[in-house]
Amino acid sequence: MASHQDFVDYVAEQLREAGAIRSRKMFGEYGLYCDGMFFAVICDNQFFVKVTPAGEEAFPHLPKAPPYEGAKDYIWVEDVDDRDTMTALTRLTCLALQDQPKKRRK
């Protein structure tokens, strides 16, 4: 089941204090960017954030699951009404991702 644009818009609105949030349609689902950094996906109207050590340490209670078949685990934020958790996780994740070395495309 593909995600609905109104759900994507709601998640982006919930994250407005984390930075400039933008969504991009990808393979029938959505990728999310914060200040230009790819950090999350929305699949089947569910919000998944990339796993980083900082995110895992700060939010050990959040489950991990693959957003789609064959994907690596992401942190699954089930309660998209919890703006504070979503914002804090997004900020931590994006800071951690900025510090990672850039991968070269082959």
Q: What domains sit in the chain, N to C, each tagged with a CATH number? A: 5-99 (3.30.1460.30)
pLDDT tens digits, 15-71? 999 999 999 998 889 999 999 999 999 999 999 999 999 999 999 999 999 999 999
* Residues paired with 42 in a beta bridge: 30, 47
Nearest 5 degrees, angle CA 44-CA 49-CA 55?
150
**CA–CA separation, 67 and 84 (whole Å):** 22
Q: Which tokens in the block code for residue 69?
A: 């078949």
* Residues paired with 62 in a beta bridge: none
pLDDT tens digits, 69-106? 999 999 999 999 999 999 999 999 999 998 776 665 55
Note the pLDDT of residue 98: 87
